[in-house]
Structures are given as structure tokens and as C-alpha cells.
A = this chain, B = another copy of it.
Amino acid sequence: MREAYQSDLRHLVDDLVDMASMVETALKDATAALLESDLALAERVIAADQHIDQRQLDLDEKIVELLARQSPVATDLRLLVASLRMSSSLERMGDLCEHVALVARRSHPDSAVPEQHRAQIAKMAELGGTAIREAATVIAERDLALAAQVEKNDDQIDELLLEISREISRGEGYSNSEVIDLTLLIRFYERLGDHAVSLVRRVGFLVTGDSLDTLSSKTDVEEF
């Protein structure tokens, strides 16, 4: 019985890592759909989000079952509660990828991203992808040195958001629709980075046992 329980706990971690991998794929595909105006790919990302949602529901049911059957305390209880929160973050990250794909679909056959911002958006997405991959490794291996790297990545994402936002504010030749879409897009990428930070902070909490204070959610960029 006890052995099965330990195996269940390990599976939880595997499930979280799997969800992160689904999100990473969604982000990569959504960004490709956006930058290459690929309607079919956008549709695939939009359709695939329900699989991420389903994974969260399955995971949550497992967690509630484990709480009910095993009455965990101490470290195990903290792992279960943290897993509930992490599955929420991952589900929301999936939604954000879907939103990028929705902007791509709405703009098709044009691209929502004007030429001069393509490299910046591609960079935001690349940093986001790295953050998700690293967050998954942090979850799997509890590597807190890598957690610091995720925070740094996120700072770079925030800087790109501010850079793009400033360029739009001062720039000319944008249609209002373009400004709306770009504003939403850079916010989606920024929130993805924030959630990656939240994920690794939760792992930090599990490893160090620090107070819940460290668990407050990563705040958005203030200036935006």
C-alpha cells in the first residue's frame, strides 16, 4: 500500500512535467502560427488546449483522491497542495498559448505582428519556451540553481515587453487593431513567463520549507 502511494506521488511529478511539455509545444506552435500566418497550425493549437485542460482535471482528481485516501502530512501534504497550484498554472499557460493562436487565426491571412517586431516576439517566445523547459526540470529534479535561471529569463521577457510597448507608444504607422493585438500578445507572453516563475517558486517552497510568503504569485510588470 505504502509503496503504491510513493509511486503515486512520483507519478504526480511526471504528470506535471508532461503538462509542461504540452505547454511548451503549444507555445512553439502558437508562435509559429502567429509569425508564419499558418491558419491550420493555429487551429491545431486551439483544439489541443482541451487536452491540457483534461490533464489538469485528471491530475486534480488524483490529488484529491490521494488527500482522501492517504491523509498525508508534512512534506507529502505540501507536495500535494503545491501540485494543485502548479497544475492550475500550467492549465493557464495552455490558455495563454491558445490566446496567441486565436490572435493568429483572427489576423489570418495577415500577420498580427508587424515586420519590425517579429524578432522581438520570436525572442519573447523563445525565452518563454526555455522558461517552461527549465521549470519542468526544476519540478523533476528540484534544481534550485536552475530556478534562478527561470527568474532571469523572466526578467528578459519583461524587458522585451517594455521595449516593444515603448516603441509602439512612440511609433507611427500602426493601425489601432495592430496596437490592440500587439498589446495583447506581449501580455500573453509576459504572463507565461510569470507562471513559469510561480512554478519554480513553488518547488523552492517544497525544497526549503520556507514560509508561504515566498509563494505569492509573480506580479506582472508594473510599468505596463
Q: Is A57 among interface residues, defined by CB-CB distance under 8 A?
A: yes
Cβ–Cβ contact B95 & A81, under 8 A: no
Residues on B with C-beta less than 8 A from A170 are 176
What is the distance, in angstroms, from A191's C-beta to the closest C-beta of chain B?
Answer: 10
A224-B184 in contact (CB<8A): yes
Q: Which 6 A-B pairs have the closest CB atoms?
A: A71-B71, A179-B179, A183-B183, A169-B177, A68-B73, A57-B212
Q: Which residues of B contact A179 (CB under 8 A)?
A: 176, 179-180, 183
A223 to chain B, nearest CB (A): 7
In the bound assembly, the distance between CA atoms of A167 and B73 in angstroms comes to: 55
**Chain B residues, CB < 8 A from A63:** 81
Query: Number of A residues contacting the other chain (C-beta, 8 Å)?
Result: 48
Pairs A–B under 8 Å by Cβ, sample size 13: A60-B215, A64-B78, A68-B73, A84-B84, A91-B216, A165-B180, A168-B176, A169-B175, A169-B176, A169-B177, A170-B176, A176-B179, A184-B187
Asked if A115 CB lies within 8 Å of chain B CBs, one says: no
By beta carbon, the residue of chain B nearest A174 is: B176
Query: Would B73 and A222 count as touching, CB distance under 8 A?
Result: no
Which residues on the B side are within 8 Å of A81 (C-beta)?
Answer: 60, 63-64, 67, 84
A53 within 8 A of B: yes
Contact partners of A88 in chain B: CB under 8 A: 85, 88, 217
CB distance from A114 to the nearest CB of B (A): 12
The CA-CA distance from A216 to B91 in the complex, in Å, is 9
* Known A99-B220, A183-B184; further 7 A-B contacts with Cβ < 8 A: A61-B212, A64-B81, A71-B71, A169-B176, A176-B179, A179-B179, A180-B183
